[in-house]
Amino acid sequence: MLTGDASYIKKINRSIIISKIIEHGMISRADLAKITGLNKATISVQAAELLAEELILETHQEHKNLGRRPIMLSINQQAGYSLGIDLDKRVITFTLSDLSGTTVDTQSIGIEASDYTLIVKLLVEQITHYKKRCSHAPYGLIGAVIGIHGIVNNDESIYFVPHHRWHNKNLKADLQNETGINIYIENNANLCSFAEIVYKHAQSENLLSVSLYSGIGLGIMVNSKLLKGCDGYAGEIGHMIIVPDGLPCRCGNLGCWEQYASELSFIKQLSKRHNKENVTYDEINHWFVKKDPVTSELMKDYIKFLSYGLNNIINLYNPEILVINSELLRLYPNALDEIKAHLTSTVGQYRKLQISEFGKNACSMGACALAIKNFLEVNELSLSFDESERKKSFTLSN
């Protein structure tokens, strides 16, 4: 039996009510009571407070029957905005969303160097810029979550970022001190898995998301919570050795999985074989369509090495859902069929294997969702994903 003081119980009830309002989009007080098991008086008191705080709205639902029109409750999408930031090797992507998790603005800025001070300065400028643009909303910019392509401690400090060669950086404190905004730091693969749970697989209790871009990371969701290990380092699956004494890796080992199955490793090989620098996804897609023999040969090997690692992950975790986040595989015809053909073990079991619909947006989407979750102080968050609604028209103050 759950016990605690009145304020604690009230906080739990508030969290449940907000979660269900967001999950259902629009819901009446009566239906909230049925779904949550809370009495109508509790629902009425909580709703009144949330309305006074401008976090929810009331709407009279249209209907043709006689009698009073039901009053529906919904989240006030424009009460505040969250900023998701994907800090990758050569580009930083900024995604702004409203409180429903719908993207309303996004931009990418290229970075030429890895100097920590310069990148912090750029981040401060952009966060301050978004803070000003959102100042018209009751809660303004509610927070910024930054996805790091590297190792993040449980205290949100950065232990190591391989591509930028950063060691022991407190980016959270550096940005909060300069911007006055709540800043959260998280591993990018964790944010990708969080996006999958929040936007697509809310009912899943065991989901893994493998991100294959500049490196390889694994986000592990168990009971809708991130599994991060004792220090926060869980999921560095790209440094699993699959080829003894193989290619050297920045981590110091030889034969790490990401040297064979990250998109960066594939593009490097493809560029070398085609004698062409800066190969784009459009060019790769063209070669797929034309069935270019060089590209086809490299993809055959790529799928093989990718499957080695996926087989190990499946044996380790027995996932309900295993999501592969890869722009390359989104373009490649029959990618899933070819991968599954390599997963022939009678021991390793999974229920569903799929390629993420979110692609490179997954990290920043998960970042926005995490900022919303932290701001609303809810234990569970389920947001809708509708591609046609993303980047909708939005007026920001200058």
- What is the pLDDT confidence band of residue 387, given thresholds at 50, 70 and 90? low
- What is the pLDDT confidence band of residue 238, given thresholds at 50, 70 and 90? very high
d(CA 389, CA 358): 14
- Residue 92 has what pLDDT? 96
Q: Looking at beta carbons, which pairs linking 56-61 to residues 24 or more positions away fall under 8 Å?
A: 56/18, 56/21, 59/26, 61/26, 61/28
Average pLDDT of the chain?
91
Helices assigned H by DSSP within the chain = 6-24, 29-36, 40-52, 116-133, 171-179, 188-199, 258-261, 263-274, 281-290, 293-317, 327-331, 335-342, 362-376
Q: Does residue 151 surpass a pLDDT of 60?
A: yes
Q: Looking at beta carbons, which pairs linking 95-100 to residues 24 or more positions away fall under 8 Å?
A: 95/361, 95/364, 95/365, 95/367, 95/368, 96/130, 96/134, 96/368, 97/365, 97/368, 97/369, 97/372, 98/394, 99/55, 99/75, 99/142, 99/372, 99/375, 99/376, 100/22, 100/75, 100/383, 100/384
Per-residue exposure over 287-326, b if at least 16 CB sit within 10 Å of its own CB, e if not: bbeeebeebeebbeebbebbbebbbebbeebebbbbbbbb
Characterize the bridge pairing of strands 158-161 and 151-152: antiparallel
Q: What is the pLDDT of residues 255-279, one digit of tens each?
A: 999 999 999 999 999 999 999 988 9
> Are both 80-192+361-389 and 204-356 of the same fold?
yes
Report, at the CATH architecture level, how domain 204-356 is classified: 2-Layer Sandwich (3.30)
| 206-211: strand order across its sheet | 225-226, 217-222, 206-211, 321-325, 352-355
Q: Which amino acid is at 31?
A: D
d(CA 141, CA 53): 16
Average pLDDT value for residue range 332-358: 92
Q: Does residue 391 surpass a pLDDT of 80?
A: no
Domain boundaries, the chain: 6-75, 80-192+361-389, 204-356
The answer as to CATH 1.10.10.10 being correct for domain 6-75 is: yes
- Residue 202 has what pLDDT? 85
Average pLDDT value for residue range 126-153: 97
> Which CATH superfamily, name and number, covers 80-192+361-389?
ATPase, nucleotide binding domain (3.30.420.40)
Q: What is the pLDDT of residues 18-74, one digit of tens each?
A: 999 999 999 999 999 999 999 999 999 999 999 999 999 998 766 556 556 778 999
Q: Is the pTM of this model over 0.75?
A: yes
* Angle at alpha carbon of residue 206, lines to 203 and 208, rounded to 5°: 115
Instruction: From 235, 185, 184, 225, select the one nearest 381 (Cα to Cα).
Output: 225
Return the higher-pLDDT residue of 185 and 388.
185
- What is the pLDDT confidence band of residue 389, given thresholds at 50, 70 and 90? very low
Judged by DSSP in three states, 355 sits in strand
Q: What is the pLDDT of residues 65-86, one digit of tens each?
A: 655 677 899 999 999 999 999 9
